[in-house]
Amino acid sequence: MCDTLVLRQQGVTWLAKNSDREAAEPQRMLHFPAVQGDHSRNLRATYIEVPQSAERHALIISQPSWIWGAEMGVNEHGLAIGNEAVFTRLTAKSGEALLGMDLLRLALERAVTAREGITVITEHLERYGQAGAGGFRDKSFRYDSSFLLADPQEAWVLETAGRLWAAKKVEHWAISNALSLGHDYDLGSADLPGQARKLGCWSGKGDFHFAQAFDTKLLPWIGGAHQRRAQNQEFLASCPVSAGWAEFAASLRSHGQHHDDFAKHNNRQVCMHAGSFWRPSQTTGSLIARLGAEPPKILATATSAPCLSLFQPLAFTPGAGADLLSDAEQPLQQSRWWRFEAVHRRSLGDAGFRYALQASRDQLEQSLLAQAEITDPDWQGLQQQAADWHAHWLALAQSQPATLNRWWRRNARL
């Protein structure tokens, strides 16, 4: 489960995403520099090989530890993409091809604009398809993908079912694990209604509706997809023109009416906390990107549970966010995600610890968000403040064992 939002106003594009994966699935923030003149013939994605591109853009991505692709990311030109699992009538039940996360990374590496990103994704989708186990431990978990693509000038929603797709240019939109496009879309697969009819997904009567033709009902209902999307759409519709980092961070931290009583959560929360057979998904990474005339600016947590985490500025400036970014060659245990997990788990069962953590976080984050607005912030000082905060709370978390419920003890071992 995931939630992704995009908003264009005042000449700026915002993209924000919570990546909801299996609890205890590490997710690292990685930076890859631009590449020129690569003579490699092919690249190995998560499951299959595809032709390599000689030139690739620099990118910052949030990547589940076991895959090649990414849940979300931004490239040096200001293209930002987030994707979602969708459970369609054409989702492949077997076989291996490209994952939606692979398609996302390919677009960030090869496209400059959102429109170019759609071309990269759909050309690979039509040629190679999408298939393969999408879960970390649960290898029966398979799905198709929807995407929000944004750049400083425009934003698009792209939704897929098997090798078929439709896309629409938008000013504000949210996606949350259910197809959202209907009668109205700007681009699509060749003879999309005809192909849907041949596959038995549309009767041919009335106007063709993308979501009604391809979407399924059970998993979106279990996952609270429509309720979460409605919350996000309401937030976007009510955003003041002054909305900024703090408002988007608050939206990704939303627990709806159940607030901080995690035991009462039911998959209808944007900030998702795992805890039962029916609620196995956990927000394991969060990112906000602002795309405008200046180089892209990014906030990320690189940790589970944004309601407990610190949003920290990132940029493509050399050395910016060095303590937040991981080295793909280093052990997972050295990543920010892994080191914070003790803090996350202590917070689940210790309300006093959790409230003190959040109060401390809010105080520091206010300062970090102010620095994110500066053209050339003191990156070294900013990173030291964040590193000190994390070190302090990690030491406190490790001073007492976490009190976890039975589900966490059995299903979320590191």
Write out pLDDT tens, residues 274-288.
Answer: 999 899 999 999 999
Mean pLDDT of the 244-255 span: 95
Q: In this predicted structure, what is the pLDDT of residue 167?
A: 98
260 pLDDT more than 80: no
- pLDDT, the chain, mean: 94
Q: Does residue 51 have a pLDDT over 90?
A: yes
Given this model, what pLDDT does residue 264 score? 85
User: In the prediction, which pLDDT does 284 show?
Assistant: 97
Percent of residues, the chain, with pLDDT higher than 70: 100
- List, in order, residues 6 or more apart from 352 with CB less than 8 Å away: none
Residues 6+ apart with CB under 8 A from 191: none
Is pLDDT of 158 > 80? yes
What is the CA 46 to chain-centroid distance, rounded?
A: 17
pLDDT at 233: 95
Cα 142–331–56 angle (5° rounding)?
65
| pLDDT for residue 274 | 94
Phi/psi for 84 (5° steps) reads -135, 150
What's the pLDDT band for 258 if we cut at 50, 70, 90? Answer: low
Asked if the model's pLDDT at residue 374 lies above 80, the reply is no
Q: How far is CA 166 from CA 116, 122, 209, 224, in A?
A: 15, 9, 11, 23
Question: What's the farthest any 2 CA atoms get from each other in the chain?
Answer: 65
Given a contact cutoff of 8 angstroms between Cβ atoms, the answer to whether 124 and 163 are in contact is: no
- pLDDT, average across residues 289-301: 93
Percent of the chain that is helix, strand, coil (3-state, to 5): 35, 25, 45
**Which residue, 138, 310, 157, is CA-closest to 233?**
157
Sequence-distant (≥ 6) Cβ neighbours of residue 267 within 8 angstroms: 1, 222, 223, 224, 228, 278, 279, 281
Span between the terminal Cα atoms of the chain, in Å: 21
Is residue 94 pLDDT above 80, yes or no? yes
Which residues lie below 8 Å from residue 362, measured CB to CB, with a gap of 6+? none
Is the CA virtual torsion 194, 214, 23, 337 positive or negative? positive
DSSP string, 188-217: ESTTHHHHHHHTTS--S-SS--HHHHHB-S
Give pLDDT tens digits for 184-218: 999 999 999 999 999 999 999 999 999 999 999 98
Residue 5, strand partner residues: 16, 174
Q: Which helix (H) or strand (E) holds 382?
A: helix 379-398
Q: Which of 16-20, 217-221, 274-278 has the highest mean pLDDT?
A: 16-20
Residue 254 confidence (pLDDT) above 90: yes
| pLDDT single digits (tens) 381-396 | 889 999 999 999 999 9
Amino acid at 182: G
Task: Provide φ and ψ at 404, rounded to 5°.
Answer: -110, 150
Beta strands in 181-306 (DSSP E): 187-188, 281-291, 297-300
Task: Provide CB contacts within 8 A for 316, sequence distance 6+.
Answer: 31, 58, 60, 76, 295, 296
Question: Percentage of the chain surpassing pLDDT 90?
Answer: 81
Question: 108 with 59: CB under 8 angstroms?
Answer: yes
Residue whose token pair is 């998993």: 219
| pLDDT value of position 323 | 87
Q: How far apart are CA 319 and CA 196, in angstroms?
A: 49
Q: What are phi and psi of 276, to 5 degrees?
A: -160, 175
| Distances, alpha carbon 196 to alpha carbons 162, 187, 207, 211, 333, in Å | 11, 15, 12, 11, 46
